[in-house]
Amino acid sequence: MSNPTGTFTCKLDSKGRLMLPADFREQLGSQTEEDFVLRPGLHGDYLELYTNSDWNRRKEILMQVNTFDRRKLDVMRKYLDGVKRVKLDANGRLQIPKDLVERHGLCKDIVIDSMFTNMEIWDKAKYDERVNAISTEELAQGVEELFSGLSFGL
């Protein structure tokens, strides 16, 4: 997996096309020739963006779920609701389906945040609100909790 590093701002046009920043595309390299997969965000009004190869790895994990268990099947069905396969066009734009644009309130100003397992597409105002909801002190405490006990080989 080689998601780009960074947080990128870009524009969504009136047809739902998202012009990906040059640095973002450059970091993706040959992966820009693959399909991408969009799915509604698990924890809010954003979209999760996966390269095709990352999505296929996720599918391998999901295929291990016992589909004879009704609750697990219902959760998987809900998890997969809204999943769309998309491609970059010749101009480096990602077409976001209209239903996902509307469902997640994506407006003109967009943020793409590169996480470690996938990328996220946010309406900029919602992204800023979510990021700013955590104070500097809460961030320090959270990072301490996240990394406590882990060795970084230092």
pLDDT in tens, the chain (154 residues): 467 889 999 999 999 999 888 888 888 888 777 889 999 999 989 999 999 889 999 999 989 999 899 999 999 999 999 999 999 888 889 999 999 999 899 999 999 998 888 899 999 999 999 999 999 999 999 999 988 888 777 6
pLDDT for position 30: 81
66 belongs to a structural domain: yes
| pLDDT at position 44 | 86
Is residue 143 a part of any domain in this protein?
no
C-alpha to C-alpha distance for 15 and 20, rounded to whole angstroms: 15
Element (H or E) spanning 55, and its range? Answer: helix 52-62
Minimal CA–CA distance to 49: which of 102, 119, 96, 107? 119
**Whole-number pLDDT of residue 154:** 62
Of 136, 95, 8, which is closest to residue 144 (Cα–Cα)? 136
User: Is the residue at 154 inside a domain?
Assistant: no
State how many domains the chain has. 1
Sign for the pseudo-dihedral over CA of 6, 9, 15, 17: negative
CATH at 14: 3.40.1550.20
Q: Is residue 82 part of a domain?
A: yes
- Determine the pLDDT at residue 1: 47
The answer as to whether 97 is a domain residue is yes
| Host domain of residue 43 | 7-123
Is the pTM value of this prediction over 0.75?
yes
Is the Cβ–Cβ distance between 52 and 34 less than 8 Å?
yes
Please give the backbone phi and psi of residue 70, each rounded to the nearest 5 degrees, phi first. Answer: -55, -45
Task: Please compute, for residue 135, the number of CA atoms within 13 A of its CA located in the half-sphere on the CB side.
Answer: 3
C-alpha distances (whole Å) from 74 to each of 55, 65, 70, 106 are: 20, 11, 6, 27
- The strand ranges marked E within 41-91 are 46-51, 84-86
